[in-house]
Amino acid sequence: MLLTAATSCVVLVDFQHRLMPAIHQGDQVLSRSARLGHIAKLLQIPVIGTEQLPAKLGPNTKDIAALCDITLEKHHFGACQGSLLQALPDHRPNIVIAGCEAHVCLLQTALRLLGHGYRVWVVADAIGSRAPSDRELALQRLRQEGARIVSVEMAAFEWLESAEHPLFREVLALIK
C-alpha cells in the first residue's frame, strides 16, 4: 500500500518551543518535521498541529505553527480524546504523523487513530523523545499495533507518484 496525497492528512504532535530542547536530536526532528509540513502544504495536504497544555508548555515553534491549518490545544496525552477526530477532514483515511514525545503523546494519538479505523503512517525521522530508547520502543510498539513506518522522503515520493508531477522539482529542493 502506498500513500496518496488525495487521501492523506498530516498531524504534527506537540512541537512546543519549551519541549524541543529536551528532545534527543531535537533540532533534527524539528527540521525533518518542518520539511514534511512544507511538502504537505505544497501538495495541498491538510496539516493539523497539536499543543499539550500550551499555557504551561508554550506554543509550537514558529516554523511548525506556520505550517498548520489548525492547531488544537489538548489536555490528554492522546489528541483523540480532545478534538482531533472532529478536526480530521473527511475522505482522508491516511494519517501521516510526526511529533514528540514519541512514546507518550504521539504513541497514544497514533494508537487511538488506529482504533478508530485510520491508517497511520509514523514518520520515523520526524519523531522524538528525550531518551532514544523510548523512541525506539514507541516505534516497535506502533509497528506491532499496525502502524506503517516511513521517512519524510518515503512519504514525499509516494505523494508525488512520479518525477512528472508538476511540483516534483519544488519538493525535491526541500528534500535535498
How far apart are the C-alpha atoms of 64 and 127, rounded to whole Å?
13
25 dihedral zone (left: phi>0; alpha: psi -120 to 50; beta): left
| pLDDT at 38 (0 to 100) | 98
Tens digits of residue pLDDT in 58-113:
999 999 999 999 999 999 999 999 899 999 999 999 999 999 999 999 999 999 99
How far apart are the C-alpha atoms of 6 and 63, rounded to whole Å?
24
For the chain, list the domains and their CATH numbers.
Answer: 5-175 (3.40.50.850)
Tens digits of residue pLDDT in 17-33:
999 999 999 999 999 99
| pLDDT at 27 (0 to 100) | 97
pLDDT class of 37 with cuts at 50, 70, 90: very high
Q: Could you tell me where the beta strands, DSSP code E, fall in 1-106?
A: 8-13, 47-52, 70-74, 94-100
| pLDDT at 23 (0 to 100) | 97
| pLDDT at 140 (0 to 100) | 98
What is the bridge-based pairing of β-strands 47-52 and 148-150? unpaired
Tens digits of residue pLDDT in 162-171:
999 999 999 9
Number of H helices, E strands in the chain: 8, 6
**pTM of the complete model beyond 0.95:** yes
| pLDDT at 51 (0 to 100) | 98
